[in-house]
Amino acid sequence: MATTASIKLYTNRNCPWAHRVHIALAELALPFEEEIIDYSKPRTPEYLKINPSGKVPTMIYNGHIIIESAIITQFLADSVASTHLIPRTGEAQGALVRAKMAFFVETYFSKANIYYYGAIEAKTDEDAEDLGKRYLDAVVTDVEPLLRDAKPFFNGSDKLTMAEVLTASFIMRIFTLPFTEDAPLPKSMIAGLGEKAPNFYAWAQAAMKHPSVNSIYNGDACVAEMRDRRAKARALA
């Protein structure tokens, strides 16, 4: 496929799922048109025709509608002739590396990141602290061993890989939101993480410093949105 495709991204920059696609587009140096979907307003009939769920991200690539962030990012990586994000079939041990990346991402989301929204929407601060500790324990037990070869990125790569593309947007939020006023995430999520999970901690720091990861991140806007999400969840509790 040509890399001069027409790409339009429907997004909300506060959304970590949409943030994934921004990272991939930046790493692949693909030009695109951006349309912000405002969460505070009902979705327009025009957007619901494109994506009936009303969610972001949605990408239109040469007229074809593609939804779901993991599918979009994988498609983008496949759309170029050569990329550092993921090894190609036929390269030495490429299939093995892809399997390792997939296992890492699945482990992170199924074992650790499941507590992210739970901690934000917890009924009480005490419940949030408990969920934060569960996140930390899962990182130490399940995720830390998978990053022993990170230098600084997954599997010894010196460039971002799909492992970072799919996780770093959440890492940014987990490392920054607990240290804000009226924090929507508990500090227990990362308390002592550098000592308990040094591989994960060093990998996360490298990922967060990368321009493709942090260029669109607006901490204040994310904090405000997550505070509002917490308030609505507690009002319904």
Residue 237 pLDDT = 80
Per DSSP, the three-state class of 43 is: coil
Q: What is the largest CA-CA distance in the chain?
A: 54
The residues facing 80 across adjacent strands are none
Asked whether residue 1 is assigned to any structural domain, the reply reads no
pLDDT tens by residue, 148-196: 999 999 999 999 999 999 999 999 999 999 999 999 999 999 999 999 9
Domain CATH code at residue 57: 3.40.30.10
- What is the chain's percent helix, strand, coil content, to nearest 5? 60, 5, 35
Domain match, 40 and 152 both: no
Residue 229 pLDDT = 95
Distance CA 64, CA 128 (A): 41
Sheet holding 7-11, edge to edge: 33-36, 7-11, 58-61, 64-67
Counting DSSP H helices and E strands in the chain, the numbers are 11, 4
Residue 117 pLDDT = 98
The predicted model scores a pTM of 0.95
Distance CA 66, CA 179 (A): 36
Residue 2 pLDDT = 45
Domain match, 207 and 138 both: yes
Residue ranges of the chain with per-residue pLDDT less than 70: 1-3, 89-92
Residue 149 pLDDT = 96
Residue 91 pLDDT = 60
Domain match, 69 and 108 both: no
Domain match, 112 and 202 both: yes
Buried b (16+ CB within 10 A) or exposed e, 96-129: ebbebbeebbebbeebbbebbebbbbbeeeeebb
Asked whether residue 27 is assigned to any structural domain, the reply reads yes
Domain match, 63 and 117 both: no
The number of distinct structural domains making up the chain is 2
Residue 90 pLDDT = 63
Q: Which domain holds residue 57?
A: 7-79
**Of 153, 59, 43, the residue nearest 100 (C-alpha):** 153
Domain CATH code at residue 142: 1.20.1050.10
Asked if 138 contacts 109 with a C-beta cutoff of 8 angstroms, the reply is: no
Residue 166 pLDDT = 98
